[in-house]
Structure 1
Amino acid sequence: MKLLILGATGRVGRQVLNNAIKDGHQVTVLVRSKDKLSDLEPGLFEIVEGNVLNASDVEAAMKGAEAVISALSTDGADVLSQGLPLVIGTMKKAGISRIVTVGTAGILQSRVSPDLLRYQSSESRRSLTRASQEHHQAYSLLEASGLDWTIVCPTYLPEGTRVGSYRIEADYLPENATEISVYDTADFAYEQLFSQKHLHTRVGIAY
């Protein structure tokens, strides 16, 4: 499959890239600096050096893609809310329907206040909500996009190790969740590219 990976230099995105290369997929990454991937063997994937906030860069990176996976972080700014509309628009123009993104547990439904998201409720222990607000905007954009989207929503995300087993739940964080490793999050997100099971769903993931 021809895949476009966004956020491939981040912790989760890098593991998604490793999985795709290992499985022999044709991979393109859009990155601001190709130097951050210089340790990988050249020729295994295509690098488009550019910015997800630039429409022409997104179009160049998405050329020929069959599916998109985004592990973009909020980057302390509005990368998601400003970049995702360009990604969605380019996908529609190119006739690509499948997108998997990595979000945050903050945008799952709250168990204590079901009409709220976790970051909006007392269920969240985070005092700063800027990142969750950005992910909330991304969720709203995907929900209205008409695309076949899935948002993988990990809880506390240490580097950890690849355990290979974890709990998932549609639209909620599994009860008594504490953490999930970068590796298991990346593996689950990557697998969703080839599955129709969790379409139009936020999926909470934790041990």
Structure 2
Amino acid sequence: MRIAVFGATGRVGSEILRLALEDGHHVKALVRRRKLDEHPNLEMIVGDVKNLADVAATVAGADAVFSAIGTDRTTTLTEAMPLIIASMHANNVRRIITIGTAGILNSRLTPGLLRYRGGDSKRKLTFAAEQHEAVYRLLEETELDWTIVCPTYLPDGEARGDYRIEKDFLPEGGKEITVGDTAHFAYRQLKETEFVRNRAGIAY
């Protein structure tokens, strides 16, 4: 399979990249500079995720797209996603798997709201959740086969495999999920369809 990866140098993105290359997939990754290890199945495209030509070159020829772009107190995510969506449409690519945040899952405390607005989340800063909600709303309006993987607190750590998943909600009592397990679950979505056009809450 040919896969386009955005955010490949980040914590989750680098794990997804590793899993894809280990399985023999051909990967194109858009990076700001050449900091990834060379691999015969990896094509690094040096550029800017906020530049349409660079994004389009990364998506061209892909069978699926992974986005693990972070927020980092910037609007990079919301600037990049319209370009990714446009490039997918132009290249007839339907499948996209993105990493979101548990804040954009449905609230259990306040039906009809998202967790970060409904009082479920204890985080006082909402900028990241607002950015991820904007991406969620963008994808909802498309015909793409999207899945948004929504981890809660995300410490470093390897995949353990004992996580719980729930469609559109955070599993009850879920407090954290490692980077390794988040990447493992997201990568599995290449072959699975249960969470197509849904958010997937993931936690231990």
- TM-score, normalised to structure 2, is 0.98
Asked whether 1:32 is paired with 2:29, we answer no
Name the counterpart of 1:195: 192
In structure 1, C-alpha distance between the alignment counterparts of 2:15 and 2:62, rounded to whole Å = 19
- 1:29 is displaced (CA, Å) by 0.3
In structure 2, C-alpha distance between the alignment counterparts of 1:92 and 1:16, rounded to whole Å = 23
Q: Which amino acid aligns with 2:185?
A: F
In structure 2, C-alpha distance between the alignment counterparts of 1:195 and 1:52, rounded to whole Å = 27
In structure 2, C-alpha distance between the alignment counterparts of 1:141 and 1:58, rounded to whole Å = 17
Q: Give the ranges of 4+ consecutive aligned residues of structure 1 lying more than 6 Å apart after TM superposition.
A: none
Asked whether 1:99 is paired with 2:96, we answer yes
Map 1:155-174 to 2 at 5 A. 155-174=152-171
Equivalent position to 1:129, from 126, 138, 144: 126
In structure 1, C-alpha distance between the alignment counterparts of 2:193 and 2:175, rounded to whole Å = 27
CA contact (8 A) 2:106 2:114 kept: yes
Query: Secondary structure in 2 aligned to 1:19?
Result: helix
In structure 2, C-alpha distance between the alignment counterparts of 1:130 and 1:46, rounded to whole Å = 33
- 1:194 is displaced (CA, Å) by 1.7
Q: CA RMSD in A?
A: 0.9
Name the counterpart of 1:66: 63
Equivalent position to 1:76, from 67, 73, 76: 73
Asked whether 1:7 is paired with 2:7, we answer yes
Name the counterpart of 1:53: 50
In structure 2, C-alpha distance between the alignment counterparts of 1:143 and 1:201, rounded to whole Å = 9
Query: Secondary structure in 2 aligned to 1:176?
Result: coil
Name the counterpart of 2:84: 87
- TM-score, normalised to structure 1, is 0.96
Q: Which amino acid aligns with 2:93?
A: I
CA contact (8 A) 1:69 1:193 kept: no
- 1:2 is displaced (CA, Å) by 0.2
Indicate the percent of aligned positions where both proteins have the same amino acid.
50
